[in-house]
Amino acid sequence: MKQKSTIALRKLAFLCLISAAQSQISVAQTPSSRLVAQPYERAVGLSYADVVDLADAAPLVAQARIGNIIKLRPEQAGTVPAGHQRVFIEANVMTLIRGEGGISPTVRYLYDAPLDGRGKMPKLKKAQVILFARPGGRPGEIQLVARDAQIAASPAELDRVKTILADLIANDAPPRITAMGDAFHVAGTIAGEGETQIFLRTESGQPVSLSILRRPGQEPRWAVALGEIVDEAARPPVRGSLLWYRLACGLPAELPARSVRALSGPDAEAARADYRFVLDALGPCGRTRAAK
């Protein structure tokens, strides 16, 4: 009798937690940021930019082992994407990778598990995962920052996540780019010679600028400067670095008209051409994630 009572109390406790989590999610939904249940995703195929996107948005990053899994009935689950099963997860935290306020040893959250062609869920119990999350409304509750903010915790992926997080919090970390500033172009004394400087606006207010130098008979050269002074030793960022990510994933596809409003027609066109040269040199951002 005592055992049945304990089981009943445990189920009641889970139902209360589910209700609280669902309530918090529905209240927090906005047009720009929907906090919805999150599906399980493997890390396979995630690019450098994909992982930085997740890490940069997450105040909490933890390695955890999935424990209890409870499937939600349709009347509990709410709206669920087709081909998914909404589940309530309890996971044991193995390592807190990021999180100034700490984290509970056991965390609880909702996510939408993808179903296979036979309508079956993947085997999640005891799986080790990396969670990119924010605190929930109650102790031990978390919300993943994106639909695919749970990835497999392979040793290689753990190392990559830790490296990215260390780069993000470094004192000299490049800032987020928020807008394009003014562009300037000075034509040289001979045909094909010229220099362009393009200023970028950043979230922190830290000055960032692009410099492009053209000389006749030579390949154009460009560099990025983090500071008021453009260092002659400045170089383009290394692909797969945080600075490269800030530029490749943060710059617009074209130089805005307001950036060249003070330039003459020929100088404005030269500045646009130099900006396109920088974008081509950076290459594509490389995001592959479909879910946000």
Q: What is the pLDDT along the chain (292 residues), one digit of tens a residue?
A: 545 444 443 454 455 455 544 543 433 333 333 333 444 444 457 999 999 999 999 999 999 999 999 998 888 888 888 888 888 999 999 999 999 888 999 999 988 887 888 988 888 899 999 999 999 989 999 999 987 898 999 999 999 999 999 999 999 999 999 999 999 999 988 888 999 999 999 999 999 999 999 999 899 999 999 987 666 667 899 999 999 999 999 999 999 999 999 999 999 999 999 999 999 999 999 999 875 5
Please state the length of the chain: 292
* Residue 229 backbone dihedrals phi, psi, to 5 degrees: -100, 135
Q: What secondary structure letter does DSSP report for 258?
A: G
pLDDT score recorded for residue 114: 79
pLDDT score recorded for residue 229: 67
Q: Which domains does the chain have, with CATH numbers?
A: 33-169 (2.40.50.120), 177-282 (no CATH)
**Cβ–Cβ under 8 Å, residues 94 and 63:** yes
**Cβ–Cβ under 8 Å, residues 165 and 55:** yes
Return the residue matching tokens 């479909």. 290
- Give the percent of the chain with pLDDT over 70: 82
Longest dimension (CA), the chain: 95
pLDDT score recorded for residue 284: 97
Q: List, for residues 118-175, the tens digit of each pLDDT value.
A: 988 888 899 999 999 999 989 999 999 987 898 999 999 999 999 999 999 999 999 9
Strands 84-98 and 142-144: unpaired
pLDDT score recorded for residue 250: 96
CA gap 11, 7 in Å, rounded: 6
Return the beta strands (E) in 136-205 as ranges: 142-144, 150-152, 177-187, 194-202
**CA nearest to 290, candidates 116, 137, 81:** 81
CA atoms within 13 A on the CB side of 219: 5
How wide is the angle at C-alpha 67 spanned by C-alphas 97 and 142, nearest 5°?
50
pLDDT score recorded for residue 27: 32
**CA nearest to 270, candidates 230, 225, 214:** 214
Q: Residue 83 is encoded by which pair of tokens?
A: 């081909």
The span from the first CA to the last CA of the chain, in angstroms, equals 47
The number of angstroms, rounded, from the C-alpha of 209 to the middle of its chain's C-alpha atoms is 23
Return the residue matching tokens 């009572």. 5
CA gap 143, 23 in Å, rounded: 12
CA gap 42, 121 in Å, rounded: 14
